[in-house]
Amino acid sequence: MTTLDMTIRAITNGEAPGDTCTPDLAKGPWEFDGVPGYGPGSSMFDVIPTGSPRQGGLPREYQDAPAEELRQRIVAAKQTLGDRLVVLGHFYQRDEVVEHADFLGDSFQLANAALTKPDAEYIVFCGVHFMAETADILARPEQKVILPNLAAGCSMADMADIDSVMAAWEELEAVYGTEPDAEGRVPIIPVTYMNSSAALKAFCGERGGIVCTSSNAKTVLEWAFERGQRVLFFPDQHLGRNTAKAMGVPTELMPMWNPRKALGGSTRQELMDAKVVLWHGFCSVHKRFTVGQIEQARAQHPGVRVIVHPECPMAVVDAADEAGSTDYIRRAVAGATEPTTFAIGTEINMVNRLAAEFPQHTIFCLDPVICPCSTMYRIHPGYLAWVLEELVAGRVVNSIEVDERVQSGARVALERMLAAKPRD
Ligand code: SF4
């Protein structure tokens, strides 16, 4: 199998057909440590907030080591650390990293996987910053959670910061007041997507709110509507809109909250009528998918089954045959009993891996341009080898530690999510 890294190098060297969104993808991620921005890939043009964690320089030996040497060093370090270590890999990670993962999954599955290894001293999370924070909140206090590259944030998560959300909440409380209605429902419930900072999860936990994932967003919204007249949903407008629309909420009752505008850019009446107030955030990976790509896939592959992630814009979800979380997409492909052509609207690493794993099907990414998630792409085997060899030497680098006060509020919101069971 040709890995995505090899494909990108071949395309940028002119040895293979295809397009990438930037030739910088062929460079090592260390070339972007210390440079403003998320690095090459889908979110390269998003604004990185000041104060976001930055990665110090990766030691030269890890930058220069050939791929096979890095692979062998990672395997050797893992063997030395044995049961003291668990390595978690997100579906969107590059193959050269995923091959070393003890568990592969989405952010929620991986948080749970960390819990199944309570004896491991070290949890090395090959994903992005908010995932490592969640693992630290759910892990035992003695366990260390390590993110191989601190610059692996998430541009969507960074679009809602605690100060902006606090300011929005104060404005909304001024509009709605705080008194419950005749049925005991409070004016508004905060709901944060898993893809958010621990501070925002704590914000929700402390205000009667909850966390959701792309797998359980409908269940969580039902939970929230039982307790509140409306919801403030952040950071991803698309997941909020797509989920609420599928539940029958009219889109005109879902105003967007732009933190740079007074009252988020809505009138007082629009906010009073609202059922879901959507934060002005999005995923730059899933924003790349378009209705035009779906039309092209249908024209070129009659009978194609189009499945997209609910972080895609509403028009794309409406034009697709199905929408669901990464776990849903995986189960849909795995469950197809007849050879099927799938056009998938999610991150390219996952799509390519599905194509390799299920050769009986034809599987391709809706977006013909190769443009992986910038921040997932920051985790390169060089960083993984470095953090593991540091652990072997008795040194913990890139540890993610959530403040204890933040942890307790965030844990409340996460536990509410775990207790909110689907009805069907
Ligand atoms: S794919 Fe989107 S939501 Fe996921 S880590 Fe990347 S930017 Fe964030």
pLDDT for 208-243, tens place per residue? 999 999 989 999 999 999 999 999 999 999 999 999
Per the model's pLDDT, the better-predicted residue between 157 and 117 turns out to be 157
Ligand 1 centre to CA of 331 (Å) is: 20
Atom of ligand 1 nearest to the CA of 236: 3
Ligand 1 centre to CA of 140 (Å) is: 26
Ligand 1 centre to CA of 173 (Å) is: 30
Average pLDDT score over residue span 336-348? 98
pLDDT band at 118 (very low <50, low <70, confident <90, very high): confident
Ligand 1 centre to CA of 268 (Å) is: 32
Q: Do residues 145 and 139 make contact, with C-beta atoms less than 8 angstroms apart? A: yes
Residue from 284, 288, 327 to probe ligand 1 pocket by mutation (most atoms less than 8 Å from CB): 284
What was the pLDDT predicted at 422? Answer: 60
Binding residue numbers for iminosuccinate: 90, 107, 193-195, 214, 309-311, 326
What was the pLDDT predicted at 267? Answer: 97
Could you give the C-alpha distances from 369 to 242, 311, 372, in angstroms and in order?
25, 18, 9
- Residue with CA nearest ligand 1 atom 6: 373
- Which residues are registered as beta bridge partners of 364? 343
- Ligand 1 shell residues, CB under 6 Å: 43, 92, 128, 154-156, 195, 283-285, 347, 373, 375-376
- Residue with CA nearest ligand 1 atom 2: 283
Binding residue numbers for [4Fe-4S] cluster: 154, 283, 373
pLDDT for 15-58, tens place per residue? 999 999 999 999 999 999 988 889 999 999 999 988 888 899 99
- Residue 341 confidence (pLDDT) above 70: yes
Q: Do residues 112 and 74 make contact, with C-beta atoms less than 8 angstroms apart? A: no
Residue from 195, 287, 311 to probe ligand 1 pocket by mutation (most atoms less than 8 Å from CB): 195
Ligand 1 centre to CA of 127 (Å) is: 10
Residue from 212, 287, 375, 379 to probe ligand 1 pocket by mutation (most atoms less than 8 Å from CB): 375
Amino acid at the residue 93: Q
Atom of ligand 1 nearest to the CA of 347: 1
Ligand 1 centre to CA of 155 (Å) is: 7
Q: Across all residues in the chain, what is the average pLDDT? A: 95
- Residue 258 confidence (pLDDT) above 90: yes
pLDDT band at 418 (very low <50, low <70, confident <90, very high): confident
pTM, whole model, 2 decimals? 0.96
pLDDT for 78-109, tens place per residue? 999 999 999 999 999 999 999 999 999 998 78
- DSSP annotation string for 324-370: --HHHHHHHHHH--S--EEEEES-HHHHHHHHHH-TTSEEEES-SEE
Ligand 1 centre to CA of 274 (Å) is: 27
H or E stretch at 146: strand 144-146
Residue from 154, 237, 374 to probe ligand 1 pocket by mutation (most atoms less than 8 Å from CB): 154
Ligand 1 centre to CA of 156 (Å) is: 6
Token duo for residue 417: 């999510």
Token duo for residue 371: 């443009």
C-alpha 210/C-alpha 261 separation (Å) is 26
Extract the runs of DSSP E, i.e. beta strands, from 64-108: 85-90, 103-105
